[in-house]
Amino acid sequence: DVKVTQSSRYLVKRTGEKVFLECVQDMDHENMFWYRQDPGLGLRLIYFSYDVKMKEKGDIPEGYSVSREKKERFSLILESASTNQTSMYLCASSFLYGGDKETQYFGPGTRLLVL
Amino acid sequence: GENVEQHPSTLSVQEGDSAVIKCTYSDSASNYFPWYKQELGKGPQLIIDIRSNVGEKKDQRIAVTLNKTAKHFSLHITETQPEDSAVYFCARGSTLGRLYFGRGTQLTVWP
């Protein structure tokens, strides 16, 4: 079974803090993705990575950065958290090649509250 | 050209009835269209997908239809059950395995 785990289910941070959200997958997937989910807005892609040390901007990268130092781990960083970054953050992973390459496997999400 | 429009945003049906969710897209190069189901407190999970060389695909009570000319695709759930209650997302595939998602449909099945 594919497993995508996220470091926290719930997180409360203060405005201006640096926040790290960690995601780990155990399927040797090349691709990893960070989304944010807000009511009525669906899933919006923040960043994705198709290989170690590679990153691509998604639709809403402003205020975020990412790090992929190992294949199984993809970190989302909020350099200086703001209240408008209060949201649900979802990590996903998938193969880049092969028959199953377009199926994304999601983690359970991290609900972040910025006060 | 990148967005996927999804309707309705909410859908309530009686147990046993059918539910239909529709999505439209504008990028004619798209050839992969998955549907994800998100249950409360969980991440989305793929339930069915379709490629552009096929017009319909079924898996038990769920089916997806694709009209590539009109650029729309639909999810059909028959004989709905309370456990079908969830948020459903349509998406279209793109390069490097990226997906563009619709905004989601909250389906509620009343017993």
**Residue A85 at interface with chain B, using a CB cutoff of 8 Å:** no
Note whether A42 contacts B89, CB cutoff 8 Å.
yes
Distance between B12 CA and the closest CA of chain A, angstroms? 17
- E strand or H helix at A93, and its extent? strand A87-94
Distance between B99 CA and the closest CA of chain A, angstroms? 8
> pLDDT, tens digit, for every residue of A6-23?
999 999 999 999 999 999
pLDDT at B1 over 60: no
User: In this structure, is the dihedral angle defined by the CA atoms of residues A49, A55, A56 and A59, taken in order, positive or negative?
Assistant: positive
**Residue A56 at interface with chain B, using a CB cutoff of 8 Å:** yes
Residues in chain A within 8 Å Cβ distance of B93 = 102
Mutate to test the interface with B, among A104, A106, A110, A111 (most CBs of B within 10 A): A104
The reported pLDDT for the residue numbered A51 is: 93
Please check whether residue B87 is in contact with residue A42, taking contact to mean a CB–CB distance below 8 angstroms: no
Distance between B88 CA and the closest CA of chain A, angstroms? 10
Q: Give the C-alpha separation, B33 to B56, whole Å.
A: 11
The reported pLDDT for the residue numbered A14 is: 98
Residue B96 — very low, low, confident or very high, per pLDDT cuts 50/70/90? confident
Q: Would you call A84 helix, strand, or coil by DSSP? A: helix
Tokens matching residue A43: 């899933």
> pLDDT, tens digit, for every residue of A13-51?
999 999 999 999 999 999 999 999 999 899 999 999 999
The reported pLDDT for the residue numbered B52 is: 85
- E strand or H helix at A114, and its extent? strand A110-114
Tokens matching residue B75: 């999810």
At position A41, the amino acid (one-letter code) is L
Please check whether residue A97 is in contact with residue A13, taking contact to mean a CB–CB distance below 8 angstroms: no
Note whether A43 contacts B97, CB cutoff 8 Å.
no
Q: Give the C-alpha separation, A42 to B38, whole Å.
A: 11
